[in-house]
Every structure is written in structure tokens, then in C-alpha cells.
Amino acid sequence: MKGLATIFKKECLRYFTDYRMLIALFLPGILIFVLYMSMGNIMTNIVSTPAIENTVFHIAYTDDFGEGEYPKLVSLLEATFTSGGRGNTLKTYPLSEEESLSAKEEVKKGTYDVYLDYSPSFEDELLGEKVQTLNIYYNGASEKATYLYELTSSLVSFAYNGYLLNQENGFPIDSNVAEENFRMDQVASFLIPLLTTTFLFSPIISLAPESIAGEKERGTLATLLITPVSRSAISWGKILAISLASLASALVSFLGVFFSIPSILPGFQLSFDSAFPILILFLLSDILFVGIGIAISAFAKSIKEANSYLGGLLTLMMVVSLLSSILDFSALPFAFIPVFNISSCMSLILKSSTFPWLYMTITIVVTALAASLVVFFSNRLFRSEKIMFRK
Amino acid sequence: MAILSTDNLRKTFSLPKEKGEPLFAKRKRLVAVNQLSLSFEEGEIYGLLGPNGAGKTTALRMIASLIKPEEGKIFYQGEDIEKNLTAYRKEIGFLTSELKLDGFFTPNQTFDYFARLYAMDEKEAKEEKEILFERFHISEYRNKKIDELSTGMKQKCSLALSLAHKPKIVIFDEPTNGLDIVASQEVEQFLLDLKKSNHLVLLSTHIFSLAEKLCDRIGILLHGELKKEDTKEKYKEEGGLEKVFFALYEKEGGDNL
């Protein structure tokens, strides 16, 4: 096809040298990396327990235990602190009834880290029929107070019932026996298809409207159509250039996710067995999405019109992608639905224990067919006077 | 023998649906051009004159092979253009006043792009570029982005580009629309120069003075049909182009056209 290379080069020159275009194409990927890394770090800081060492903790309690007597819970806490090896010490404050009235206020001020409010004769009445209460107050804004509160709460059952719940050496254990990766695979199976669809389609919104609707608007399309270059060559030149630019943009975005994923999904690793099929789906989807973008741009009278169609379509694609990764669409008939099957197949690859060969094969064939059809349709639009010179 | 001729060209367009019309009702059609037969000689400037919506642009687009006639044929050097469209397109230069070049590129880049699309020899393209850029005073601005150029300079760039491949037939749809008086003068002079160098120039206009000044022959289009065709001298004998046009216009129904 004569002229295809010339059109391809000119379009690429536009996409890869116009700084506005470069910002639209590559900034999202960089921002994703920065954003996800920051989000990951913030989440880690929030979730993880701080390692507190060489600190003096202050614990107050209602003094209803007789002179020189500690509540069992406080004794247990002291023992834990002594054997903990972190150099932490515990100061205890038995409070009279009057002092107890202002205890919560003192916790708020930071005088005490934790205040244990026992119901009268708590330990003596524990085995009786009357229900006993123990309220533990702490200031959640203080890391130190929170630490002491969690430790205290975790020791309540041992102090008063003689057993430890999900504890080992005085510290909580992770009682969920599922492999860490399994949980992360679930998150990734929802996140990756959604991000892939968004990354692949977003650059098309910047590229496709300018490519054809823009030329229509400027009147340069007529000048182009009158050259000896065939309309198929014009259409293919534009399709290939947009595919390359959108793929480059999507890859940058994908790399942004890839490098920030350990931060946001700790423990998740994308194996080659999963990454390679996803990459194939990625490439096929790109051609399909570019074909859709080109067809819409060819149909639209102006950049504005093309943008409004493509913006709406992106939202629809995201919803489809979200649904296909959240709900169970592993039954084979779903593999025959274009676009929908891409996200669904990616999701299955990431969360299934066995590789979904048949689903994947059907998805590839259906996507390739849909891409061919859309590209063929775009070519037909280029030949249609009614569409090209629509007023 | 005429270098280019049209035989009974006809083109219709479907009209937008009117309010209250049933969803699947057959669309009404507008006859844009009907039974248009013209013939053109080398070294002449032919003007199609008519009001807006008379069918001038549609006629020129068909002759430029941009759109296909529903009926009728176009012959270049006696041969149906459909038989070798690629060869015909190499002989055509087409410019419309609606054209706004991509502002991101420079005149230099845009010229090279079109020269390559027309598969021009690199050396020949370079020589032609120098001639045209010099002719339209573009050389100084050749490496500036088109966005940064004045409206007149942009139009001159468009003009130079439509001639990049040295076409024998030059088709201009409203060539001086949007140009200032200096740029208009330059374009008019250039069209006269093209005529001198034996090119065929086809133009559409609704400006009587421009048609009388430039054209050897003028065809009046009303309602998609050629109502009169004559030399400018003949129009002068009949009292001038404007008078002849309005007489025809009234006869055809005036505002009801």
C-alpha cells in the first residue's frame, strides 16, 4: 500500500514530538507510579504496628482490689513488659472513686495511656451470675496509647479465662491460614483488568479524535483523500500510528503499575506464565480499541463530537471490566462476548489455580475477529462519502 | 479536444429528518447537481458562479474525484477517470477555502509530506518547493509552525501545497475567501500565471468582480443546474455578469431557489 509509511511516519511525528500529546500520553503512567507508591507507603504506615521500645507506659485502673493488690490483667501486662525485652516499663495508677471521675479526661490529656474501668468487685464476681464489665479507654490519636490498648485487649481473655486467643509470646498472630499471595491474587485479578482497559483506552481518547475528526474539521482530510494514496493506506497508516502511540502510553502506565504494585499489593508477584498471556490480550485489545476509536473518529463531524462518544465509551468499558472481574463469568459462553471476555479472561488467569486454556483461546480468536471486523468497518467508513463529508 | 469534460453529472444528498417525521420514514433527497455537462480547455480559467447551495462545491468535488457522481461520467483527455483514478489524481490540484493546515507542523514539513504522498522524486520536490515558497514569500517562514503564521500566510501555504505535485488541472473552491486584499491580489495574479503556463484552472465563486477579472468562461449554476455558460466578453455585451445573473435568478424563482 503506497503512502502508508508516509502517513504512519507523519502521524507518529505528531504523537511523539508534540509536548501536549506527550503529556497526555505518558504523564498518567508516571503519575500512577508516584500515586501508588505514596498510597502504598501511607497504607503500610497505617496498618503496621509501630515497634515501640524503651518507653514508659502509664496505665490507670479503678482501685477496687484491696491494698497492694493489682488486677490480674495489670499483673499480666507487667510480666509481658518485663519479659518482652524491648526495655519498656509500665507505671500503674490505682484511682479512687473520685479520681476515676476525671480519668477519661486524663487519658485524653495523655497523663494515662490506658484507663481500665472495672465494675465493682469485678474479679470476685467474675464467676457469679451477674454480668461484669471492663471498659478500656485510650487515646486513639496516640501511637503509644494505641499500642498499649491493643496489648491490653489481647490479654483480657487470658487474664480472666485462662486462655490466649490468637497470641504467641504475648503478640497477635495472623490467624488467616490462606497464602499471602492468594489474597493479593484476588485483589490483582480485579485491579489489573480494570487498569488494563483504562490504560489502553485512555490514550485513544487523546489520539483518535485528532487523527480523523480533527482532519475533517480542518478540511485537510479532503486534501488527503484527493492524493493518489488509497483510502485503505490512509486508514491503515492512521490505525498503526495510533496503535503504536497508545501501546507506548499503555506500556508506560503498565510499568508504572508493575513497579508500584509491590507497594500497594505486598506479596503479589506477576509470574511469566500469567504475564505472557496477559501481554497477548493486551496487544489484541489495543488493536480492537484503536479500531473502535478510529471508527468513532471517522464517524464524528468534529473533535468535540468524537471526544464525547469516546468518553462515554470509556466509562462503559470500565464498568464492563469491573463487572467481569468481580462477578463469576468463568463459563465458556462468556468468552464469546468481545471486550467483556478480555477482562474476564485476565481475571481468570490471575485467580484460577489452573490456567484457563480454552477460555483464553476463545477470547483470543473472538478478540482477533472483532478487531478485524472493526478495522474493516473503519476502512469502509473511509470509503463512504456520506460519512467523510457529513455536515 | 477538451482536456477535461463532464457528461450529465448528477448528485443528490439525503436531507435531515424533519420534526414529527416517523423514525423509519424514507428520507427526502436534495438534488445538489443535475445534468451537468461541461468541457474545459488547457490554458483557460473557468468559473462556476452561483449563490450558496447552488451546487458549486459538489460539482468541483466530483470533478476532483473526491466524491462520485450518481449518474454521468468525467473524462480526462478523452478517457473515463474511473479507469485510472490514481493517474488522474496526480494531475489534479484541489484547494478549498475551508482548508486549515495542521498548525503543529511547519510549511516545510507539510510540503515534504504531500510531495511524498504524490510519490514525487526527492530532487524534483525540493526544486518545486523552492519555486513555490519563493513565489508566495513563504521561504522566510518555512520552519515556523503553521499555527504561528498569519491567516494570509496560512492560505498561501495551502495554495503552495495544492500545487506541490505540479498538477495540470487546478481546482479552487472559493479561492480568495478569508484573504486580505494583498493576499487576494497575489492569488489572483498567480491564477493568471497558471493560465499563461497552459494550466486549466477551475474555480467557484460568488464574487462577480473576481469572475469577470479572472475567468475566460463562466457558468452560472442555479439549483444544481447549469443555466448559462458563456465567455466573459459575451456577458459584458449583455450588460455585465451581475445583471445577467440576477435576471436568471429572478426567472428561476429568486428567493425560492
Contact A228/B118, CB-based, under 8 Å? Answer: yes
Same domain, A32 and A96: no
Kindly state whether residues A273 and A332 are assigned to the same domain: yes
Residue A378 lies in a domain: yes
Q: Is there a single domain that holds both residue A156 and residue A221?
A: no
Residues of A in contact with B114 (CB under 8 A): 223, 227
Is A219 in the same domain as A352? yes
Q: Check CB contact of B178 with chain A, cutoff 8 Å.
A: no
Q: In terms of domains, do A133 and A89 share one?
A: yes
Phi, psi of A335 (to 5 degrees): -70, -15
- Out of A219, A222, A227, the one facing B117 most closely (by C-beta) is A227
- In words, the CATH class of domain B1-18+28-91+168-257 is alpha beta
A199 and A166 share one domain: no
For chains A and B, CB pairs below 8 A equal: 65
Cβ contact B203:B47 at 8 Å? yes
Mutation target vs B (from A2, A9, A10, A302; most B CBs, 10 A cutoff): A10
Report yes or no: A3 at the B interface, CB cutoff 8 Å: yes
Beta strands in B121-245 (DSSP E): 169-173, 200-205, 217-222, 225-231
The model's confidence at residue B257, banded by pLDDT at 50, 70 and 90, is very low
Mean pLDDT of chain B: 89
Q: Do B100 and A18 touch (CB under 8 A)?
A: no
Report CB contact under 8 Å: A229, B117.
yes
A149 with A244, same domain: the answer is: no
Whether residue A51 is contained in a domain is answered as no
For residues A288-303, b (16+ Cβ closer than 10 Å) or e, as one string? bbbbbbbbbbbbbeeb
* Residue A49 within a domain: no
pLDDT in tens, A185-216: 677 777 778 887 888 888 888 889 988 899 88
The ipTM (two decimal places) reads 0.86
Q: What's the pLDDT at A49?
A: 56
Quick one: chain A helix, strand, coil %, rounded to 5? 70, 5, 25
Give the start-to-end residue ranges of the domains of chain B. 1-18+28-91+168-257, 97-163
Answer whether residue A174 shows pLDDT above 70: no
Tens of pLDDT along B78-120? 999 999 998 999 999 998 877 788 889 999 999 999 999 999 9
Is the pLDDT score of A267 beyond 70?
A: no
Judging contacts by C-beta atoms under 8 Å, the chain A residues touching residue B27 are none
Residues 6+ apart with CB under 8 A from A222: A389, B61, B66, B94, B96, B99
Look at residue A313 and give its three-state secondary structure. Answer: helix
> pLDDT by residue (tens digit) across B194-244?
999 999 999 998 889 999 999 999 999 998 999 999 999 999 999 999 999
Contact indicator for B181, B147 with CB cutoff of 8 Å: no
| A50 located within any domain | no
Q: Are residues A82 and A113 in the same domain?
A: yes
CATH at A62: 3.40.190.10
Q: Rounded to two decimals, what is the model's pTM?
A: 0.75
Compute the nearest-CA separation of B229 from chain A (Å).
27
Are A375 and A239 in contact, with CB atoms under 8 Å apart? yes
Res B156 pLDDT > 50? yes
Q: Specify whether A153 is located in the same domain as A192.
A: no
Q: Is the minimum CB–CB distance between B147 and chain A shorter than 8 Å?
A: no
Q: Is the pLDDT of residue B27 over 80?
A: no
Whole-number Å distance between alpha carbons of B115 and B94: 14
Are A165 and A214 within one domain?
A: no
Both A60 and A38 in a single domain?
no
Structural domain total, chain A: 2
What residues make up the domain containing A363? 4-44+179-388
